[in-house]
Amino acid sequence: MRASTLRAAGMVTLVVAALLGSAYALGRSLMPDHPRGNGVAASVRAPHYGDQPPSTDFPGPPGGGYGGPSPDPSPSGPDSGRQADDSEGPYGAEVSTGSARIALTFDDGPDPQWTPQVLALLKEYGVKATFCVVGENAEAHPDLVRSIVADGHTICNHSWNHDLALGKRSADAIRDDLTRTNDAIRAAAPDARIAYFRQPGGAWTSPVVSVCEELGMTPLHWAVDPTDWQVPGAAKITQVVLAQTRPGSIVLMHDAGGDRSGTVEALQDLLPQLMHRFQLEALPTGTT
């Protein structure tokens, strides 16, 4: 009797284990793969800034790239020295070109795989844009920095290594980071004018704005973010940009930091459609 009971219990255990294994296999088969644009693999050695999780210390603005809602500093908080009004971006950063023209901006490069493709498309359509470059990438690919400048695009400082927490550091540390990035850009293109700084992730703070202005750079934010850094595919990028772009919009996209095949594909549709509706110029508009 005892032996038969043990055999029965063993059979039940085997059946349950088999059912659990089948359920797990079925669940795995139903899970979609992570989207990767049109299937072009990103460089395994490239820094994947856009794949970073959102910053919890410095949430960005609505639709703000790597973060959530904008910070809302109170008068008693550490950042009470600067608070934007409704017409400005976080801490007074620019969100509009100040004219009817729109500005396309590309972050996180230069990248040897994606930046040349973006430059080729811009040249094909005769469009000037603004490239927010990361210092370590500028140092690694000075030829691409020179190409950006030679094609008449604007250069923007985007920090040395895309440090989302840069604004939380001391003023001296921020200054060193921005100066090091400017030095790398000018080592590649000595005549480059670096008139703008864009804080990684849109994680603006009063100290980072103060330092960038001290160094003669305007804090540059954006109004339209299709979250191409999340690799949503070309169709979604195109849809968001066309739906949200208005006269004066600064549009955020990326030419590095991960798989940017979707961005490149989207530009093939976006450029002619945007040119039909707006004037596209590099920042500051009215100079190209």
Cβ neighbours of residue 168 closer than 8 Å, sequence gap 6 or more = 57, 58, 205
Q: How far apart are alpha carbons 100 and 46 in whole angstroms?
A: 36
> How many C-beta neighbours within 10 Å does residue 32 have?
5
- Is the separation of the CB atoms in 280 and 274 below 8 Å? yes
Q: How far apart are alpha carbons 256 and 254 in whole angstroms?
A: 6
Query: What residue has token string 């095949």?
Result: 261
Q: 4 in helix, strand or coil? A: helix
β 103-107/250-254 pair status: parallel
Q: How far apart are the first and last CA of the chain?
A: 93
* Paired tokens of 241: 């940009």
Q: How far apart are alpha carbons 274 and 265 in whole angstroms?
A: 15
Enzyme catalytic residues: 107, 254
